[in-house]
Structure 1
Amino acid sequence: MKSYLNVLATPGAWRFLLPALVARLPFAMLQLGILLLVEWATGSYGAAGVAAAAAAVSQAIAGPQTGRLADRHGQARVLLPQVALHGLALGTLLALATAQAPTSLLVLTAALAGASMPQVGAMVRARWAYRLGGSARLNTAFAVESITDELTFTVAPVLLVLLSTGYSPVVALLVALVLVVVGTTVFAGVRTGMPEPAPVRARSAGGVLRLRGVVPLAVAFLAMGSVFGTLQVGIISLTAALGTPASAGAIYGTFSAASVLGGLLYGAVRWRVSATARLVVGLALLAAATSTFTVAGTIPLLYGTAALAGLVIAPVVITGYTIIDGLVPAEVRTESFTLLGGAIGLGIATGASAAGQLVDQFGPSLAFVVPPVTTVLAALLVLARRRGLRARPPAVTSAPEPAPLPG
């Protein structure tokens, strides 16, 4: 635990970590919340699925553009108008759903709510990289962020479902709206660790996708997102087929808990193996672990395979963020982080859609063929492009590591 305590003891870190945690809970509630809201308003799961997918895809597309603006103009100047726009879009969606507006209007507004969602998680990672750049503690800081993501994506849906069933989806998303506005506003006001805006001349005209090594990493994160999306659909459908639908939540919770454990163990190690080699091996192990779902025909086996896959996935995510931090210039760091986050979101939507089609056509077990295929292909791509994933030569692009406070 010493490595984690050293990172969390970074002067001023808690000033931005606490409001960021509040702002990140709604991020994990939005897609499922829109699904429940639109189904409640229209009575159609088909319409709800389209609206949720529209939010996910628009978020994946707009996220890197938000990161680009944050790199260029500073986090606060982007987050404050963005959270205001998000509040307006989500509030309008709630009003339209309550009024039972046409589905097309609900889908359009859901897309606006997704596109305007503040990318606080990527901006926290950018702050860590700015403060700890060049330090061995950065890998541990990224592990902290991966664990935080996993916890929020475990806790937030539970809170959302409790509020939706106890009251209504409108109340649930109103709570999410309050949390995102308060958390983002406070986070934007904390200047601790905030990177300095980059000059326009340092920007790449084609965006970060034109930079060396970024495309293979984006594909790897898309594959990891497909794991999350596929397991959500596959576990729910298979447990229902086995006659124990209530166990789906506990099985997915096992996956999340194992991911937290895997991230903790991985982040505490000072690795001597290159990050690229770790990424290739991690993706291959993830393919092997997720392939066991295809033969997990009982509830105990589902628990075991979920734990196995969870142990592997957080280290792969951490490694990807570590690699991209060493690849891209500091002035495009936030854009790069939001790109990877958007790739995961797009992978979730794609994986869930593909798994749903396979379940409908061939049964629950066939849904689990998606993750091994996507992760193996990603591992092969990373292996083939490994030379382009070497870190850039160090440059003076970030603030020096702060000295401890007196006393």
Structure 2
Amino acid sequence: MKTYLELFRVNGVTRVLLSQLVARFPHGMLSIAFLIHVESVHHSYAAAGLVVGAISLGEAIAGPISSRLMARWGMRPLLFSMMVVAALTLSVMAIFPLSVPVLVLLGFIGGCAFPPIQPAVRTIYPKLVPDRLLTPLFSLDASAQEIIWIVGPVLTTFIAVQIGSVTAVLTAMAFLVGGGIWFITSPSVGQVRIPLSKRRLGGVLSRPPVIISTLLGLTLVACFAAVEAGIIGLFGDQDPQAGWILAIYALGSLVGGLAWGHLPIAPWSMTRRLLLVTVGLAAALIFPNFWWLSLTLFISGLGVAPALTVLFANVSATMKFSETAESYAWIGSGQLVGAGLGSAVAGLCIDHFGAVSAIAAAGIFAVLTTLGALVTKRWSPDLRGSHGAPLPDTGPIETIS
């Protein structure tokens, strides 16, 4: 805890950490809000899963492109313009009664316009703190973001049940705009300049840490999305117990991140942390009731934030600073594709086999992620004793002889 307290004493860390947390809060709300909204309008979890998947797919495709544009246009202009478009598009989807194809199309556009807050903030971090505090900061960020998944589901289900799903979506947009403005106007955002990358778009995927983190992030988040849909399908979109279970799941991740996320990262770290996620989900299938699911998903959640810490720390320690924003964006894109895939698969499972089958699908995604981490262990960097800072950008220097 002493390390985390030291982080908050660094000028600018508190505002950047909290503002980006608020700006990213819709990620913990929109999936549930649109699942509830579309299902209540069109009476189909499969249709709701398609709409959520379209939003995630749009953000996944646009993420690497917009992250590179931050180096060319600057963080502030890009983030602000995308924030406005996303807020307007997603609000229209909630306010007006639209057909499923139109919702899918607008969801894709809104997803494409979603501002790349996560790549931006993870690019800022190495310039914000000393190298020795970078890995703890990644851990704190991965742990703090679980607040999104603790408060978000409970808040969304409460608003949707008590007021309406339209209000739930608009509340998420209020967080996006308010948090986005708070983050964009932060002095740290204006001070960081991202050098133009010498690689072509997608060139960073040739580096093993990036492609491994992207693929593992995809299946890991597909697991979370399937759990989310499965819990909502099991308890119904009018039962606040669904939100509480998902909040407990995220609370486990928060506890795990604060307890273990700052530990030195070895090649085996990812596999060990994912085993906890997998075992908890497998146990959840035994007795799918409120108390048992709360216990097993809390256990599963203990490995989530520490596993995410490994994904981002591996990239930070192996890539040049000019390449980190795009690298983080590809990881984010993988996670967003995973969110869409998990929601779509879970929606189909619920409609055809029942809600418990969605949790089983989440367990399969967790097994695939664990096996992937085991197979790719040989390409994972050993960061024990490393500061984890990005590699410096170097180039030829002209000399006079």
**Residue identity in the other structure for 2:251:** A
Q: Distance in 2 between matches of 1:121 and 1:199?
A: 19
**Residue 333 of structure 1 aligns with which residue?**
324
Q: Distance in 1 between matches of 2:273 and 2:77?
A: 37
| 1:18-57 aligned within 5 A | 18-39=18-39, 41-42=41-42, 45-57=45-57
Q: Distance in 1 between matches of 2:389 and 2:257?
A: 27
- Shift in Å, 1:316: 0.7
**Residue 10 of structure 1 aligns with which residue?**
10
Change (3 A) 1:113 1:142: same
- Give me the identity figure in percent: 26
Q: Tell me, what secondary structure is at the counterpart of 1:378?
A: helix
Q: 1:119 aligns with which of 116, 121, 124?
A: 116
> Does residue 282 of the first structure (1) align with residue 279 of the second (2)?
no
> Does residue 82 of the first structure (1) align with residue 76 of the second (2)?
no
Which range moved further: 369-378 or 178-187? 369-378
1:327/1:389 contact within 8 Å kept: no
The root-mean-square deviation of aligned C-alpha atoms, in Å, is: 2.9
Q: 2:247 aligns with which of 253, 272, 276?
A: 253
1:110-150 per-position Cα deviation (integer Å, ceiling 9, x unaligned): 221122111223322221133336x2321211122112221
Which range moved further: 294-303 or 324-333? 294-303
Identify unmatched segments of 5+ residues in structure 1: 399-407
1:156-177 per-position Cα deviation (integer Å, ceiling 9, x unaligned): 2333333333433333333333
| 1:145-164 aligned within 5 A | 145-164=141-160
Change (3 A) 1:12 1:56: same
| 1:5-404 aligned within 5 A | 5-39=5-39, 41-42=41-42, 45-94=45-94, 97-98=95-96, 100-132=97-129, 135-192=131-188, 194-200=191-197, 202-238=198-234, 247-269=241-263, 271=264, 274=266, 276-390=267-381, 395-397=391-393
- Shift in Å, 1:246: 5.3
- Shift in Å, 1:283: 2.3
- Shift in Å, 1:79: 0.5
Q: Distance in 1 between matches of 2:329 and 2:389?
A: 23
- Shift in Å, 1:76: 1.4
Equivalent pairs, count: 387
Change (3 A) 1:353 1:199: closer
1:344-368 per-position Cα deviation (integer Å, ceiling 9, x unaligned): 2322332233234334444444433
**Residue identity in the other structure for 1:354:** V
**Residue 402 of structure 1 aligns with which residue?**
none
- Shift in Å, 1:309: 0.2
- Shift in Å, 1:278: 0.4
1:220/1:375 contact within 8 Å kept: no
2:320/2:392 contact within 8 Å kept: no
Q: Tell me, what secondary structure is at the counterpart of 1:295?
A: coil
2:123/2:324 contact within 8 Å kept: yes
Q: Distance in 2 between matches of 1:79 and 1:31?
A: 22
- Shift in Å, 1:84: 2.3
1:213/1:388 contact within 8 Å kept: yes
